[in-house]
């Protein structure tokens, strides 16, 4: 009897590779799922299984640019690559780092394996080692799958790689994005599981180091941003600890505190500013303060600023010190002046007038603007003295400074000194806490306009004269002298020379003020300027009132030319605004004017009309009331009657005050 021995045919991984490459049959028993998936991707990508040599390679210039754009990854990975290599040195392995596309950035290893990798498969710097370029391999497949993998021998899709075993893992940034791949490659006969573990450990270490560097970079950026912010802000920033040692000071704070030398952190503020400085005490007491005025003599100079203090804490919640925000007093006052409207809006171009008398007056604006001397503006009420003052300021070298207007006649007699020169806390009952700067301080580096200067009380004229001579003020209730750099423009509708002769105005003050004198002509002497002003006002009120008025009738212009305009431009403005409000047509009619203007006696006589004494009285009262802008006291005085008598006449004549 013959016995036949059954032979079992054992399949190996190479057979599985051939079966897939030559017949397209996938052996799920001998081939891992991730390898089969990779092979299928390679087939779809059209990779040549009998090739695998790295042909997609960058030239030297392109490689340098690639390494530069991945410099942080390369610099962080290099130490770990060399550490890993020391563990496998002499065993025929090499360590590789690639970018996120699979291009080799850096290699290290035994010279023999490096030469073999270069000569056989061109596994060198700048070569593309993605699946699309060279098929299944630890680098390309790890990047495609976004996970670590070890591939050995015939598991590689390309035959030329079957000599090799490789372990690769993708490297991620803090956002979880792939930025590269770490790989260990060597002969397939020396495949070790521990090389896979080394790759995973190395990648984890690289990612941790990248995160640390990213955090440090963020800290550096934050510090640089903070430094740039503190350097660029217009306020001074000063941070001190509880002992008064400087933690940080920006250039603006140094300037405000009058410190020219570089200040080192850790210096005691008292050693720099002297024992009387107030910041260390606030820091010691951990005081919260807002806009405290600081005045301190610093040798020949003076620190004058506002200060806000805010304590800051450590991580454990304990107070570390105080941050002071300093604002130069002049900047604070400029801001205040802007907010309260202490600015000049008008220029020469805004002053309407082509008459000879106005042209002469306008020429003097340029003269005054280019001079540093005091200016005295004279003219009747309503002629536009403040308009001239603003134009002088705006065309002068002080245009960036404040323009502070003071009506000397409107200030209460008992308050005028504190308003002009300021007061300290406790100077009088009701004095504001912390005191208050006066108009001269607020106008520092700019112009102060003293309107109705002829109504200033005699006892205040002495103080004003002293300020003009010394350019310094002392607050009411204070002792410190405050220097002020102020241009003075005064104005009056009174005859100051006669006031001097009558002993109502100081002669020395008059000559101090009357250096450059500009006489502003009344409206009745300006000829055709009246029509120009009227047209200008019609355009303005058309826009403001939302009424479409194209102009005025001829009789309207005749009426305003024949009127004497005791209230000057201000009265004309009121009359045109009144006419614009009551007008019903496209053009202003003479009947749209107030009755005191279009029914004045001279005009009616030319028309051949006769009016009653009652009507003349009504016209006179209305005209005078208009001239003084409804002020009963001034109107009664001008008419030579008492206030009560005037009230009776207004009621009987039906005139509204």
* pLDDT of amino acid 515: 92
The 3-class SS string of 91-137 reads CCCEEEEEECCCEEEEEEECHHHHHHHHHHHCCCCCEECCHHHHCCC
* pLDDT of amino acid 342: 56
CB 541 within 8 A of CB 580: yes
CB 517 within 8 A of CB 556: no
Check whether domain 234-336 has CATH 3.30.450.20, yes or no: yes
| pLDDT tens for each residue of 409-433 | 888 877 888 888 888 876 776 666 6
pLDDT at 331 over 80: no
According to DSSP, the β-strands at 487-492 and 447-451 are parallel
Work out the mean pLDDT of the chain and round it to a whole number: 85
Phi and psi angles of residue 396, each rounded to the nearest 5 degrees, phi first: -100, 175
| pLDDT tens for each residue of 187-204 | 998 877 788 999 999 999
Query: C-alpha dihedral over 257, 260, 261, 264, to 10 degrees?
Result: 30
* pLDDT of amino acid 319: 78
| pLDDT tens for each residue of 610-650 | 556 677 777 778 778 877 777 888 888 777 787 878 887 88
Q: Could you give the 3-state DSSP secondary structure of residue 483?
A: strand
Same fold, 234-336 and 352-519: no
The CATH number of 13-215, from 3.30.450.40, 3.40.1360.10, 3.50.50.60, 2.40.440.10, is 3.30.450.40
Q: Which residues of 300-327 are buried (b: 16+ CB within 10 A; e: fewer)?
A: eeebbbbbebebeeeeeeeebbbbbbbb
* pLDDT of amino acid 301: 65
- Give me the architecture of the 525-653 domain, per CATH: Orthogonal Bundle (1.10)
Residue 154: which of 43, 44, 50 has the closest Cα? 50
* pLDDT of amino acid 58: 95
Q: Where are the domains of the chain?
A: 13-215, 234-336, 352-519, 525-653
pLDDT band at 328 (very low <50, low <70, confident <90, very high): confident
pLDDT at 657 over 70: no
Whole-angstrom Cα distance, residue 495 to residue 167? 104
Token representation of residue 551:
């102009």
pLDDT band at 520 (very low <50, low <70, confident <90, very high): very high
Tell me the pTM: 0.53
Instruction: Work out the number of other CB atoms within 10 angstroms of the CB of residue 64.
Output: 12
Check whether domain 352-519 has CATH 3.40.50.720, yes or no: no
């Amino acid at each position: 009897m013959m016995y036949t021995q059954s032979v079992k045919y054992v399949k190996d991984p190479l057979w599985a590779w051939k079966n897939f490459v030559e017949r397209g049959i996938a052996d799920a028993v001998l081939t891992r799922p991730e390898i089969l998936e990779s092979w299928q991707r390679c087939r779809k990508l059209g990779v040549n299984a009998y090739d695998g040599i790295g042909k997609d390679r960058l030239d030297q210039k392109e490689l340098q640019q690639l390494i530069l754009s991945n410099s942080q990854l390369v610099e962080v990975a290099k130490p770990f690559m060399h550490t890993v290599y020391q563990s496998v040195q002499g065993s025929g392995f090499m360590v590789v780092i690639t970018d996120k596309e699979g291009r080799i950035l850096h290699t290290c290893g035994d010279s023999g394996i490096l030469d073999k990798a270069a000569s056989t498969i061109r596994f060198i710097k700048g070569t593309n080692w993605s699946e699309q370029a060279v098929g299944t391999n630890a680098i390309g497949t790890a990047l495609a799958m976004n996970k670590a993998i070890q591939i050995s021998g015939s598991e590689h899709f390309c035959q030329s790689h079957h000599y090799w075993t490789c372990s690769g893992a993708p490297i991620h940034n803090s956002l979880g994005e792939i930025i590269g791949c770490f790989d260990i490659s060597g002969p397939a006969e020396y495949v070790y599981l521990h090389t896979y573990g080394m790759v995973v450990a190395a990648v984890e270490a690289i990612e941790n180091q990248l995160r640390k560097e990213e955090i440090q970079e963020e800290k550096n950026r934050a510090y640089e941003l903070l430094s740039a912010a503190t350097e660029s802000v217009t306020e001074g920033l000063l941070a001190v600890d509880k002992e008064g040692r400087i933690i940080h000071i920006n250039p603006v704070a140094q300037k405000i505190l009058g410190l020219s030398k570089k200040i080192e952190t850790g210096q005691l503020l008292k050693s720099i500013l002297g024992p009387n400085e107030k910041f260390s005490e606030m820091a010691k007491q951990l005081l919260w303060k807002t806009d405290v005025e600081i005045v301190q003599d610093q040798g020949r100079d003076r620190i004058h600023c506002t200060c806000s203090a805010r304590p800051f804490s450590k991580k454990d919640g304990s107070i570390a010190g105080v941050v002071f925000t300093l604002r130069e007093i002049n900047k604070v006052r400029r801001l205040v002046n802007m907010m309260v409207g202490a600015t000049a809006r008008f220029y020469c171009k805004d002053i309407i007038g082509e008459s000879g008398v106005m042209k002469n007056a306008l020429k003097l604006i340029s003269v005054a603007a280019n001079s540093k001397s005091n200016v005295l503006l004279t003219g009747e009420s309503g002629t536009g003295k403040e308009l001239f003052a603003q134009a002088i300021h705006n065309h002068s070298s002080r245009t960036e400074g404040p323009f502070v207007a003071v009506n000397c006649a409107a200030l209460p007699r008992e308050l005028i000194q504190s308003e002009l020169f300021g007061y300290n806390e406790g100077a009088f009952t009701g004095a504001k806490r912390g005191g208050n700067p006066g108009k001269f301080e607020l106008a520092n580096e700019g112009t102060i306009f003293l309107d109705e200067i002829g109504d200033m009380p005699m006892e205040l004229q002495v103080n004003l004269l002293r300020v003009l001579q010394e350019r310094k003020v002392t607050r009411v209730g204070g002792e410190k002298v405050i220097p002020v750099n102020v241009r003075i423009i005064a104005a009056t509708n009174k005859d100051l020379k006669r006031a001097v002769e009558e002993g109502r105005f100081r002669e020395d003050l008059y000559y101090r003020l009357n250096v450059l004198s500009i006489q502003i002509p009344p409206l009745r002497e300006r000829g055709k300027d009246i029509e120009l002003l009227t047209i200008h006002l019609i355009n303005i009120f058309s826009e403001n009132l939302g009424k479409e008025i194209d102009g005025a009738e001829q009789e309207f212009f005749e009426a305003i030319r024949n009127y004497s305009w005791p209230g000057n431009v201000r009265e004309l403005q009121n009359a045109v605004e009144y006419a614009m409000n009551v007008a019903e047509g496209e053009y202003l009619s003479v009947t749209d004017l107030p009755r005191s203007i279009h029914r004045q006696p001279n005009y009616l006589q030319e028309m051949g009309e006769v009016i009653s004494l009652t009507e003349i009285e009504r016209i006179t009262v209305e005209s005078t009331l208009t001239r003084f802008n409804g002020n009963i006291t001034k109107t009664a005085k001008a008419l030579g009657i008492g206030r009560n008598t005037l009230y009776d006449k207004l009621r009987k004549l039906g005139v509204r005050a």
